Amino acid sequence: MSRLVAGVLAPVRILTPLGRGVLVLAVVVTALAIRLNWQEFTQLGVVAFGLLLLGLLWQVLPGTPVADLALRPQRMVEGSPAPQATLEVHAGAAPMLFPKVEVPVGHRTVALRLPFLGPFAHHTETVPLPSLPRGVHRVGPVTYEKTDPVGLVARRFETGGSVELLVSPRVTDLSVFAGGLTNDLDGATSQQLSMSDLAFHALREYVPGDDLRHVHWRSSAKAGELLVRQYHETRRGHVTVLVDCARGAYPRLRDFELAVSVATSIALRAVRDDFDTYLRCGEHVARGRQAVEMTDAACRFDAGADDYLAHAAEAAGQVSGTGLVVQVTGAARALVQLDAAAQRFGRGADWIVVRADSEDDARLRDNGALREISIPDLAHLQDLLARGMR
């Protein structure tokens, strides 16, 4: 019984508001014509039912149109002019009477009216896309509304596929990564001192147990005591950037967006300086020396549950011998938790905390063991990061 009712109501569901009005009119005037025997009402009912029948027959005409959507470029930076999509429409056997098409763009929809297209006609249309926030936005598939000439019956068809538009976060160019730490044959110099390495630091007095190979004899002769060479410990050029994905770590949503921009800016500078870079936020990870890998991953970062410590532990297991760990978080994250995450990487790695707090002042706190930067906006990152890494 339910199938029978659904089959009867199926044609009614595809009627437009105008079509439903014409159906009601046809039923009413036909009833009046039968009851009052008015010929005029009979003619009006026949015309109304005839238009509805014409609309239904129009829907069964063969030849569904096909639309192909092309998007170039498929990557953009938040705030930059949006790209344009190219829509190619191939009409079917039935003419298209100024068809209405809709192109979904993320959570928004772009609607446009095409010109009249005859049978099997081809048409290319440029679709302007709206400004979009950072993220991954799906564009398409195209929705086509097939309507009869009078506009009484309409059906919607999806045609073609969809493409991804990647909107990366705003970034700032850091002219020198990590405040001037340099690359050498083995990697980036650290603040740790070593007795045997490549980056010379200074001379110090000989201590029993020091290797005599490191004695600088010429300086020792001048000073009248044994002096040994001391070096900066060098490591493999590896930078780890962790973004706190916990929604509760950020009092404001815009602070999380600022954190993503800060982390991406640091990761891009590291990549340009040819460091092996590990960028992570939640389950989304990018690693390597390719800038596009960093920006594509940053498009997918989102705030959610507080799994930061677990993710930091997993990152420490995936990365060995990192020279610098940058933790980017919000104002609400406790320092003791950040310290616990940093310990996963070992005390040999340099450690810096960057807090994205749009309501705080730009400031740097350095007590020797911890360098903590507070960033209210992206413009302060260059100066504060350079000072924090000295």
Tens-digit pLDDT profile for residues 256-288: 999 999 999 999 998 888 888 999 999 999 998
Nearest alpha-carbon partner for 352 in 311, 377, 323, 383: 323
Residue 307 neighbours by CB distance under 10 Å? 13
Q: How confident is the model at residue 245 (pLDDT cuts 50, 70, 90)?
A: very high
β-strand partners of 310? none
Share of the chain above pLDDT 90, in %: 22
Q: How confident is the model at residue 233 (pLDDT cuts 50, 70, 90)?
A: low
Nearest alpha-carbon partner for 266 in 234, 233, 239, 302: 239
Question: How far, in Å, CA of 390 to CA of 368, rounded?
Answer: 11
Q: pLDDT at position 302, please?
A: 92
β-strand partners of 168? 77
Nearest alpha-carbon partner for 243 in 177, 304, 317, 176: 304
Nearest alpha-carbon partner for 295 in 284, 308, 305: 284
Average pLDDT, the chain: 82
Q: How confident is the model at residue 339 (pLDDT cuts 50, 70, 90)?
A: confident
Nearest alpha-carbon partner for 113 in 96, 129, 130, 91: 96
Share of the chain above pLDDT 70, in %: 86
Q: pLDDT at position 234, please?
A: 55
Greatest C-alpha distance within the chain: 132
Residues 6+ apart with CB under 8 A from 260: 134, 169, 243, 281, 298, 301
Poorest-pLDDT segment among 136-140, 174-178, 195-199, 367-371: 195-199
Q: How confident is the model at residue 295 (pLDDT cuts 50, 70, 90)?
A: very high
Q: pLDDT at position 293, please?
A: 92
